[in-house]
A and B are shown apart, each in its own frame.
Chain A
Amino acid sequence: MALLTAVGPDSEASPDALAHVRLWDAYAGAIYRYCFRRIADAALAEDLTSIVFLEAWRRRRDVSLAPEASLPWLYGVATNVLRNQRRSQRRYQAALARLPRPLEEPDFADGLTDRLDDEQQMRLILDQLRMLSRLEQEVLSLCVWEGLTPRAAATALAVPEATVRTRLHRAREHLRTLGESGADAIPARQPDATQGDLP
């Protein structure tokens, strides 16, 4: 740690806690986007993002990760939180109740319109994807929307890599029936290998 940055609020935290908020700094944006795309509700996605990192803290001793593997693992925690949304919210109800009120209310004039547009568009997309199984939806969102490799997605979903590839193929087949948004538009190549890959 550089001397100049050795003092301040974060430096009062324990090393473990500090490492965990660094994960927040690095990946909260990605996890928020993933949650939003799975539920089409921006406010709820914010709460779920908080829950994902609280749950990740609770489970931090269950895994031993290289830093590069943290993001796929967080996607995995997020997937479980999304699968058990109500239970997760119940579990962390008290913690979320302690979230302090903002000091000043933001000006929603512009942001609110964008947010509502995004939510509406996302709801339409999710409606279209209901024909897919839950795992197919998860594989599609991780590999296509979030750009994870099948290997990283397999880590996130705790399934074999071959299963991810199979489900991705099936999702493509299913989407083919949706016409112009079908298989041709889904990249046949592997997703961007630079994002969320394992070391």
Chain B
Amino acid sequence: MSIDLLDPPAPTMPERELTRRRAHLLREIEHAPTRRPHEAPGGGGPSALFRRKVPLGGVGRRAALGVVVAALIAVLAVVVPQRFGRSQMTLVDQAIAAIGSGPTIHVVLDEGPGVQLVDLRTGKTRLLQSGAEVWSDPKLGTVWVSTLDGKRTQRFVVPASQNAPVFPVFAWWRTLVTGYRAQLQSGAYHLVGTGQIAGQPVDWIDSKPVTTGASGKEVTEIAISRATYKPLYWRERINGTIKPGSGVRLINIETLPRQPALFAHPTLPFGPGLAGFAGSGVATTLRDARAAMNPDPVVPPAQIASLRRTWVGLPNYLTPPYNSYKDQISGVALYYGHLDQYGDPAYQGSYISITEFPHRNAVVTFNGVSLFRQDAAIITNHLYHIATMKTQGLYVIIQAGSHAEALAAARALAHQRG
């Protein structure tokens, strides 16, 4: 066997193994012990996963722990009354004053690196920061702006009458956007401890427990900056355990004067309950798609990542108003993978769905993903593996059963010429 020292084999981990180990990783790192309110999110030292099996010096550690606990109690006994008694304003009063008294609340969130950018020419990848900015007014509605890599990717305006059906998925919405000031004023929160968030000293306040039949006692915890008295972090605790994924990091929260112009021209997004944008639509042929589209569709090979093209159709996108199929959007949908019993795309297991649009507006208005880069795929892995890209004048959305399949489809499109 001849060998090349400079070009060793480059095997890839099987996709199912990647998926299995990813799920295992997530489960293992989420097994970290519950943090107390005085600990910063994600901090708190080694998790149970990494602890030694045999405790070091049982009696000595217990004794030391006792001393530390006693000291903490002593410090809290001195510090907490001081914080409430230092001035006539309590911490909660300060928190109310910090966000002002305007009718419109404005919240800026940092959601961290959550989306991957893949340069299809060089293979270089980069994680993009994602975030959100929200203005909410009980009379005017809500303006929602999503950002990716510092650029606006999505903006929609929801009338006040639609707030409830559009945003129930966000638990923080109820306590930070629509109810924060009212709940502070009603005495729903009390001080439970101190800590740090991103190096900034904070006081943790907890809401009164709310008992729900489904999940038990729910408590909302908010970290209030000691410098600005504004919330820096928000999370939920259920039956004493922090609810996974509930944490939200706050860049800013404030109230503003009413600005009707900001809420003009409502543009509704999909409802969060809608399971994606790529349902099966009206079947067509590549010839008809070419005749209808300008520029022509980019048609990658009949097989991508061992999946064969099994269906060609018109893009099945919702059009205004957002709950009807009023008009057919120009474009083409290509599906690779198994079809269901009716001969429609199954969108399950291994599959690739490619939808191409000649106009950006069709995509921007009706999808949650709306950042397109020339010959670069922007891939999300939240619930669906979705990639967006721009190639040969077309705006493309790929939905796939896995990250690798989404990437393979993006590469196939980028390398397809003419």
Contacts and interface: CB of A to CB of B under 8 A. Distances in A.
Interface of A: 1-29, 32-33, 36-37, 42, 45-46, 49-50, 53-54, 57-58, 60-61, 67-68, 70, 91, 94-95, 98-100, 102, 106, 111, 114-115, 117-118, 120-122, 124-125, 128-129, 144-145, 175, 178, 181, 185-186, 194-195
Most A C-beta atoms less than 10 A away, residue of B18, B21, B111, B116: B21
A16 B114 CA distance: 11
A147 to B, nearest CB: 9
A3 B272 contact: yes
B327 interface: no
Contact of B170 (A6, A33, A122): A6
A21 B127 CA distance: 12
Contacts of B22: 21, 24-25, 28
A122 B3 CA distance: 9
A1 B382 contact: yes
A20 to B, nearest CB: 6
A80 B8 CA distance: 21
Given A1-B130, A19-B112, A194 B369 contact: no
Contacts of B123: 194-195
14 contacts: A3-B270, A3-B272, A10-B245, A11-B383, A14-B242, A15-B112, A15-B247, A17-B244, A22-B114, A46-B17, A100-B20, A102-B17, A102-B20, A115-B11
B5 A4 contact: no
Contacts of A45: 13
B5 A118 contact: no
Contacts of B144: 3
Given A37-B10, A195-B124, 6 more contacts: A3-B146, A6-B382, A15-B249, A28-B13, A33-B12, A106-B16
Interface of B: 1, 3-6, 8-14, 16-18, 20-30, 41-43, 46-47, 49-50, 111-114, 116, 119, 122-130, 132, 144, 146, 153-154, 169-170, 242, 244-249, 269-270, 272, 274, 276-277, 367-369, 380-384, 386, 403
A46 to B, nearest CB: 6
B79 to A, nearest CB: 25
Given A3-B269, A14-B42, A120-B1, A9 B383 contact: yes
Given A5-B368, A15-B112, A100 B24 contact: yes
Contacts of B4: 181, 185
Contacts of A178: 5
Contact of A20 (B12, B18, B29, B368): B29
Interface of A is mostly: helix
Contact of B112 (A18, A61, A102, A120): A18
A68 B272 contact: no
B14 A111 contact: yes
Nearest to B367: A4
B146 A2 contact: yes
B153 to A, nearest CB: 7
A128 B28 contact: no
B249 to A, nearest CB: 7
A124 B3 contact: yes
Given A118-B9, A195-B124, A54 B383 contact: no
A178 B6 CA distance: 12
A22 B113 contact: yes
A194 B120 CA distance: 12
A10 B383 contact: yes
Given A4-B270, A6-B170, A12 B245 contact: yes
B23 to A, nearest CB: 8
